[in-house]
Chains A and B, each alone.
Chain A
């Protein structure tokens, strides 16, 4: 059976042929911050490029997930991918205090929120 299956080098899965995908993303809102979590397995943290422009976060990274070379493939449900994400940022987010960590294939961004100005009641005094 193995001999009838294509070998990986015949599938054209090289550096020039990548899928582009938007990573699965969670955005969690808490009273103090926004927590953005992106599922981006197979990266080294140094491969992640990120920048902010007014109102948006731009993110890009390439995960090298090609199958082992020279082996017969029985199942190929993913390969190398170029992750790209364009995420609108809430107006309350303090972009200058953005922090990022990458662990277990998940990128976690923390964006503190601006403190809401306290509502002050103003008494009207009759003249």
Chain B
């Protein structure tokens, strides 16, 4: 339940963004799960893939990066810029080698196949020679 609440609210990421200063923001997230995989989507308009870093640490997915802020005489300035960071507790191990990430039209999609444990096998017990 804690994981669910944390992912829903992003409280920790929000507080960390606030501590980092005005030039930081948090990404809105969709996190979906089925028996085979997790699907994470995020909105990152203006993001270039070279400024994006995605890491997997155990069951935690970390997304961080930056969107450069422009200077000049702005009559109106609302678009997010600066640094961002978002951490998601997935609650299950994933196959790190099979993770796919795609950035298209400012939408980041990450597909994380779940780690499949080795199939159980029956172990035959043999009698020793002293039986």
Q: Which residues of A contact B (CB under 8 A)?
A: 1-2, 5, 8, 24-30, 34, 37-44, 65, 67-68, 70-79, 102, 104-106
Can you add 19 more A-B contacts, CB < 8 Å, to A37-B79, A40-B106?
A: A24-B78, A26-B70, A26-B79, A27-B74, A39-B45, A41-B106, A41-B107, A42-B107, A65-B41, A67-B39, A68-B32, A71-B34, A72-B32, A73-B30, A73-B32, A76-B30, A78-B30, A105-B45, A105-B105
Contact partners of B32 in chain A: CB under 8 A? 8, 67-68, 71-74
CB of B31 within 8 A of CB of A104, answer no
Q: Which residues of B contact A (CB under 8 A)?
A: 1, 3-4, 7-8, 10, 28-34, 39, 41, 43-48, 70, 72-80, 88, 91, 105-107
Contact partners of A76 in chain B: CB under 8 A? 30
The smallest beta-carbon distance between B118 and chain A, in angstroms, is 22
CB of B106 within 8 A of CB of A25, answer no
Which residue of B39, B72, B73, B106 has the most chain A CB atoms within 10 A of its CB atom? B106
Task: Report how many A-B pairs have Cβ atoms within 8 Å.
Answer: 120
The smallest beta-carbon distance between B108 and chain A, in angstroms, is 9
The smallest beta-carbon distance between A101 and chain B, in angstroms, is 13
CA A37 – CA B45 in complex, angstroms?
11
CB of A24 within 8 A of CB of B30, answer no
CA A102 – CA B70 in complex, angstroms?
18
Interchain Cβ contacts under 8 Å between A and B, 16 examples: A25-B78, A29-B72, A30-B72, A39-B78, A41-B45, A42-B105, A43-B105, A65-B30, A67-B32, A67-B39, A68-B39, A72-B32, A73-B31, A77-B30, A105-B43, A105-B46
CB of A28 within 8 A of CB of B46, answer no
Contact partners of B78 in chain A: CB under 8 A? 24-26, 39
CB of B74 within 8 A of CB of A75, answer no
Q: Which residue of A lies closest to B34 (CB)?
A: A71
CB of B105 within 8 A of CB of A44, answer yes
The smallest beta-carbon distance between A44 and chain B, in angstroms, is 7
- Return the contact of A72 from the options B34, B46, B48 (Cβ within 8 A): B34
Contact partners of A65 in chain B: CB under 8 A? 30, 41, 43, 107
The smallest beta-carbon distance between A61 and chain B, in angstroms, is 11
CB of B47 within 8 A of CB of A75, answer no
What are the 7 tightest A-B residue pairs by CB atom distance, in nearest-first order? A105-B106, A41-B106, A105-B45, A71-B32, A75-B31, A39-B45, A77-B28
